[in-house]
Each structure stands twice: as structure tokens, then as C-alpha cells.
């Protein structure tokens, strides 16, 4: 799992490195990921979700795997 840097701006914006396009949508989603990372017990899910969301087109299956680390069989 590669590390990506997500930094929150003071004006409600954030910048997301890695695969993010830096669009407004990705800035907003980046803010969500920062918030999730800060929640006890959700750090890993946040990292997995960042990869699933910014690494490729997210699907229900990829998000499920990111959240629960299990394939839908």
C-alpha cells in the first residue's frame, strides 16, 4: 500500500496527492478520507479506501474490499 499525502487547506479545500486529479470532487473526498483516518479503528479502512477511490474507478466490490478486506464471493 503506497503512502499518499493528503493535506487540508484552511479554506475548506484540501489537496490530494497520488492518483487524485486534484478536482474539487477529489478535494472533498480527500477531506472525508482525512476525517476517516482520524477515527479510531478506521485508519486502515481509510488507507484502503484512498487506494480504491483514487487508484481506479471505484466500484461497490472495490469499496467493500477496502472497507472489510474481504472479497464478495
Partner 1 sequence: MIRALSISIREFRGVRDLNLDFAGKNFAICGPNGTGKSGIVDALEFALTGVISRLAGAGTGSLSVKEHGPHVDSRNKPENAYVSLRVHIPSLKKDATITRTVKDAKNPKFSPDDPEIRAVFSKVSLHPEFALSRRELIRYVLSEPGKRAKEVQELLRLEEVETLRALFQKIANANDRDVKQAKVTREEASSSLLRALGLTKLSASEILAAANEKRAILFLPALPALEANTSIKDGIVSGSAAKSVKVPKQQAKADIDAIKIKLAAVQSAEFLSAIAKVSAALDDLSKDEKLLKSASKEAFLRTAISLFDDDACPVCDTPWKPEEFKNHLAQKLKDYSAATAQRKELERQLLPIVNELESMRVAAGSVAKYGSQLPTPVDCADLTTYVAQLGGVVSRLRAFIPLNETSDALAGASKVSEEVLKALALLEAGVAALPEPTQQDAARDFLSVGQERLEGYRRESLKHKAADKAAQDARFIFDLYNKVTTEALEAIYRNVEEQFSKLYRMVNYDDEDAFRAELKPSMGKLGFDVDFYGRGFFPPGAYHSEGHQDSMGLCLYLALMSHLAGDAFTFAVLDDVLMSVDSGHRREVSKMLLEEFPNTQFLLTTHDEVWLRHMKSVGLIEPKRFAHFRTWSVDLGPTEWDGRDVWDEIKDLLGKNDVRAAAALLRHYLEHFSKEACQSLRAQVEFRGDAQFSLGGLLPNAISKLKKSLKAGKDAAVSWKQNDKIDAITTQENLLNAAVSATKIDQWQINAAVHYNEWANLHKNDFASIVDAYKALVVAFACGKCSSVLFSTPEVGEAEALRCSCGDINVNLRRKS
Q: Which residues bind partner 1 (CB under 8 A)?
A: 11-12, 21, 23-29, 31-32, 35-36, 39, 42, 45, 49, 53, 57-60, 63-64, 67-68
The least CB distance from residue 41 to partner 1, in Å, is 8
Pick between residue 7 and residue 59 the one whose CB is nearest to partner 1.
Answer: 59
Q: What whole-number distance in Å separates Cα of residue 68 and Cα of residue 52?
A: 12
The least distance separating partner 1 from the CB of residue 40, rounded to whole angstroms, comes to 11
Burial level of 7, CB count in 10 A (0-12/13-18/19+)? exposed
Amino acid at each position: 500500500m503506497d503512502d499518499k499525502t493528503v493535506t487540508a487547506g484552511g479554506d475548506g479545500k484540501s489537496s490530494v496527492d497520488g492518483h487524485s486529479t486534484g478536482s474539487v470532487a477529489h478535494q472533498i473526498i480527500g477531506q472525508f478520507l482525512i476525517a476517516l483516518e482520524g477515527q479510531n479503528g478506521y485508519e486502515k479502512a481509510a488507507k484502503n479506501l484512498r487506494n480504491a477511490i483514487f487508484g481506479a474507478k471505484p466500484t461497490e466490490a472495490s469499496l467493500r474490499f477496502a472497507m472489510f478486506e474481504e472479497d464478495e464471493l
